[in-house]
Chains A and B, each alone.
Chain A
């Protein structure tokens, strides 16, 4: 019988050996894949034993901190957001039941100390060996608490967004989105967030409208069209246009009357006046003259057709551009596929995010160079030492300095004597452009204002968008931009 026993012993030992092989598979090879799975709560809960890094505004205001909780003999660090809905869209949340969003998701490696920085690796490994609590790194944002609060107050009761950038660095100073939500409620009282109502439908309080909200840019896009017109040398600020109150495209009249900001007939005007008063027929004719391809080309130079750069997760950012049936439309031959006249004044299925339009204003302000937006200024270790610091990065040149100079003067005119007078600040020259896009519902507009100031030495660029408005961009959005600009300018001496 011993021969059979020996054979059976091989089978018995083989069975247990197979278990060692299978365990090795699950504990090494499959680990990374399983850790990424949405329903893997163990992975998420385990991360709560890490003392997550704080998230702070530029002035040190704490935006995300930890609450200690003892669960089954272990100390867990649950998230608390003292500023409630004020920074909700940018900071996001870190929860067990709904995973993570915002910077809490995209900067998780820093916040949990699992990044590859040598000092962090050393610290966390030592902590792990000693059995001490692992501490994450702190994020210091570039955002200004005061201006952010003011922007959120200005948006109260509305649906919309305000974005303010430092024109010289691309740093995000304000990123407000309404309606907002209290991230402290995500874990335990999510239905309260679902029940939020607002003046738009759906209210989508979790949506970061600044980077993920798509709005028809309307006349603010004329800045891009004018960039193309001037930079290609086809037109100058003094180029003359005859405005009969409409422009003829494909044998059809495209009337100024469709533009709630400037429905009247202006007669003979130059390009400067055309921008100041946002005359559709002028831009319609420019569009016909230079073609859709050139306009889209300049739009891309400003960042259209790319996710707006920022540290937040990619699924919370959406590219601006032409949209067809809910999807980004990349015309292979724009000059035949796209209506250039309507594109030129920002209609024609064109959609843009507020951050993208702030980048347009910022690019003009920064002598034609678009800076890459960023919101995490620096990352510090548990001891306070800097782990990483964000250096301003040029995204690329959109227009020549000369074109930028010409556009600046024209936009100053729009605020001084055109459609954007509500944005005037005494003692400071503001350059701006209004936008009032039709929504398809009569008397309801998407109201925009983009601007930068001071015009002679620009520091800040702002984009404001409001959904579902009865007032024009120059009436409802320009005053918000003005208030935020004033707050930023006042805070300049003590940033």
Chain B
């Protein structure tokens, strides 16, 4: 079977799974959702088939598993968002249309030779920095949950950091491909850019109050630097600098300090000062409220979960128990309803995606392609780890989206562009191999 036919077969399976998800939400919540929900799966299936046709036209030799996996993840995400809030699911559906548009556009524009991008690397780098700084512009940026990550045009909100991530990877792939030999020699002056990026990441962190994004950008940078130079020493140095910088920020920025305290001690037996309302409360009723409630949600799922549509997310009065459920905490909603069996399977899909991504990087035969694929794949893995690891208390919790699953337009668009990038690299590598 050819790669694209295999992709189509996989997409049919994904379509059936999505239909089953919507059907079970419909059965569990008949009086809240309408029969129209059953047609949604058909709608998404049509979308994916359209994306598949574009791929068939532009990247015929590309990996046949990535698009179906992305489809499965978005399907799971949109089903859960639909279960939590049908209106949001409708919006998310629109964003998926936009994202697949961006996906198709990326493929159509770049499928002849994406390596042209290399000559525009500085443009990408500057755009990325511009996007990152955007939320800090007065009047344009919005602070959500203590971190300035959003910009708004009227009622439209957009998180430019998501797209900046992809642009930054393109820049780094180009830059590191060019400089890898001199960097590997380890002359002091070549470390200028490294320090510059380190400073940039710290600046972003201080400016946006966001530990998660800083960790993400810096992690991507170190990973790509290691692949380019093969020097573990740089990774160690970079990590050391990051820790030193983070420690400094920890002392300077109260928001970051709070996050760490919450991470280490989410529960207290005694009342502590609560900055939100100025009262004395146990920490689980104040600062660590979100983390703790989300952990309860995860724990409540147990082995098999409550079943799609049967989870508990509201009080008996109908108030939300967990804030930001369909964005930052969608994993804890899924964990409750699908149980360990369900979310372990979900994480295995992420693992497969990551494995395929690294395989593409191995098969690619030029440095730029390798670095691009590595960057995109590792960004995907690290972002998943930062948000889910935060929910599971492996690291301090920071609000970033779960790729393909969380509610949020910018995230879905950026991740489909990321997917397009991987398909482009894969297509080229496989085509040359034939």
Mark A residues whose CB is within 8 Å of B: 1-6, 8-9, 11-13, 15-20, 22-28, 30-31, 34-35, 37, 39-43, 45-46, 48-49, 69-74, 76, 78, 96, 131, 187
Contacts and interface: CB of A to CB of B under 8 A. Distances in A.
Given A8-B378, A19-B385, A45 B299 contact: no
Contacts of B350: 16
25 contacts: A1-B228, A5-B227, A5-B358, A5-B370, A8-B378, A12-B381, A13-B355, A16-B351, A18-B385, A22-B389, A22-B393, A22-B394, A27-B340, A28-B303, A31-B299, A31-B300, A34-B295, A34-B296, A39-B284, A43-B300, A45-B312, A46-B306, A46-B312, A73-B31, A96-B315
A31 B299 CA distance: 5
B302 A22 contact: no
A1 B227 contact: yes
Contacts of A9: 354-355, 358
A131 B307 contact: yes
Contacts of A4: 226-227, 230
Given A23-B340, A96-B316, 12 more contacts: A8-B226, A13-B381, A15-B385, A19-B347, A19-B384, A24-B344, A31-B300, A39-B285, A41-B315, A45-B321, A73-B31, A131-B307
A100 to B, nearest CB: 14
B388 A78 contact: no
The CB with the most chain B CB atoms within 10 A, among A11, A37, A45, A74, is that of A74
B82 to A, nearest CB: 12
A43 B361 CA distance: 45
A25 B298 CA distance: 10
B131 interface: no
Given A2-B362, A39-B285, A71 B316 contact: yes
Interface string B280-308: 00101100000011011111111100110
A323 B30 CA distance: 60
B318 interface: yes
Nearest to B384: A16
B316 A34 contact: no
B302 A31 contact: yes
Given A12-B358, A16-B347, A72 B370 contact: no
Contacts of B348: 20
A42 B316 contact: no
The CB with the most chain B CB atoms within 10 A, among A6, A19, A37, A69, is that of A19
B367 interface: yes
B28 interface: yes
Contacts of B393: 22
A12 B378 contact: yes
B312 A42 contact: yes
Nearest to B332: A26
A17 B385 CA distance: 9
A78 B33 CA distance: 24
B325 to A, nearest CB: 12
B17 interface: no
Contacts of B370: 1, 5
B385 A40 contact: no
B113 interface: no
B354 A12 contact: yes
Contacts of B99: none
B374 interface: yes
Main secondary structure on chain A at its contact with chain B?
helix
A67 B32 CA distance: 20
A13 B354 contact: yes
Main secondary structure on chain B at its contact with chain A?
helix
A40 B335 contact: no
Interface in B366-395: 367, 370-371, 374, 377-378, 381-382, 384-385, 388-389, 392-394
Interface residues of B, number: 69
Contacts of B306: 46
Nearest to B351: A16
A15 B362 contact: no
A218 B336 CA distance: 57
B299 A34 contact: yes
A19 B307 CA distance: 21
B300 to A, nearest CB: 5
Contact of A16 (B297, B336, B339, B354): B354
A354 B323 CA distance: 48
A34 B33 CA distance: 32
Interface in B250-290: 267, 282, 284-285
B133 interface: no
A223 to B, nearest CB: 44
Given A4-B226, A5-B227, A23 B312 contact: no
A352 to B, nearest CB: 33
A163 B230 CA distance: 82
Interface in B308-326: 309-310, 312-318, 321
Contacts of A78: 316
Interface string B322-349: 0000000000000110011001100110
B335 to A, nearest CB: 7
Contacts of A12: 354, 358, 377-378, 381-382
A6 B32 contact: no
Interface in B104-153: none
B53 interface: no
A26 B392 contact: yes
A23 B347 contact: yes
Given A16-B351, A19-B385, A5 B301 contact: no
Interface string B375-418: 00110011011001100111000000000000000000000000
B358 A43 contact: no
A23 B393 CA distance: 10
A48 B385 contact: no
A11 B235 CA distance: 13
Given A12-B377, A71-B316, A19 B299 contact: no
A41 B321 contact: yes
B239 interface: no
B179 interface: no
A27 to B, nearest CB: 4
B223 interface: yes
Contacts of B310: 74, 131
B302 A27 contact: yes
Contacts of A20: 344, 347-348
B29 interface: yes
Interface string B21-58: 00000011111110000000000000000000000000
B314 A45 contact: yes
Given A5-B370, A46-B312, A69-B316, A16 B385 contact: yes
A20 B344 CA distance: 6
Nearest to A15: B385
A13 B359 CA distance: 12
B349 to A, nearest CB: 10
